[in-house]
């Protein structure tokens, strides 16, 4: 089976990459689609860190406007996050379907800071809608391991999800 792995960042990808390599998948390819990340310099830092994994990754164009169009006037959590996850997983599923992958999944399933059940539900719903399997695995057990591996290898580790709203929440201007 061929699996397309949506990747939010390098540190969150380390454990899922290892886990998926040990599974039934013949091929696992990364998909770095994150128009939510702001500013563009942050997007580039995360993209550059992801390249340290050595994984084959597809890098669709960075079009920040796609995120803003999807979340306009929805800057409050949890609705904003749900719309963002839907946008990114739908794009991943579309690419997977168009390019003959058997399934898709996401590294968002590793984060203890995200609404895990909602990410899972969105993935399953998108999979049904796009007619491609959403592969579910709870990667949260490897979150600390992934972060420690990133730290040891001096991989850039961010301290916010990426969107401008989460950055404002973090710094509380």
Chain segment 70-110, per-residue pLDDT in tens: 887 665 667 888 999 999 999 999 999 999 999 999 999 99
Structure tokens at 106: 């996401």
CB 93 within 8 A of CB 132: yes
Alpha carbon of 16 to those of 54, 139, 170, 173: distances in Å?
Answer: 14, 6, 26, 35
Check residue 78 and report its DSSP letter. T
CB 118 within 8 A of CB 124: no
The length of the chain is: 173
**Which position has the token pair 């904003």?**
80
pLDDT of residue 77: 61
The predicted model gives 130-152 an average pLDDT of 96
Task: Please state which architecture CATH assigns to domain 2-171.
Answer: 3-Layer(aba) Sandwich (3.40)
pLDDT of residue 137: 97
Check residue 102 and report its DSSP letter. S
**Which position has the token pair 């609705």?**
79
Return the minimum-mean-pLDDT range out of 16-20, 45-49, 113-117, 156-160.
156-160
Bond from prior residue into 78 cis (ω within 30 degrees of 0): yes
- Among 73, 65, 6, 79, which residue's Cα sits nearest to residue 36? 65
pTM of structure: 0.93
The predicted model gives 53-71 an average pLDDT of 93
d(CA 114, CA 24): 27
């Amino acid at each position: 089976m061929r699996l397309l792995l949506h990747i939010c960042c390098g540190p969150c990808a380390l454990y899922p990459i290892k886990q998926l390599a040990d599974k039934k998948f013949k091929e696992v390819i990364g998909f770095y689609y994150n128009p939510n990340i702001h500013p563009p310099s942050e997007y580039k830092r995360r993209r550059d860190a992801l390249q340290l994994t050595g994984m084959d990754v597809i890098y669709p164009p960075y079009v920040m406007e796609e995120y803003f169009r999807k979340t306009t006037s929805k800057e409050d959590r949890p609705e904003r996050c749900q719309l963002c996850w839907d946008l990114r997983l739908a794009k991943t599923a579309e690419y997977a379907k168009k390019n003959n992958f058997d399934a898709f999944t996401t590294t968002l399933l590793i984060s203890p800071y995200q609404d895990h059940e909602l990410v899972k539900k969105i993935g399953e719903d998108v999979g049904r809608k796009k007619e491609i399997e959403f592969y579910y695995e709870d990667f949260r057990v490897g979150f600390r391991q992934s972060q420690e591996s990133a730290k040891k290898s001096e991989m850039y580790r961010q301290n916010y999800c990426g969107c401008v709203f989460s950055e404002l929440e973090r710094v509380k201007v």
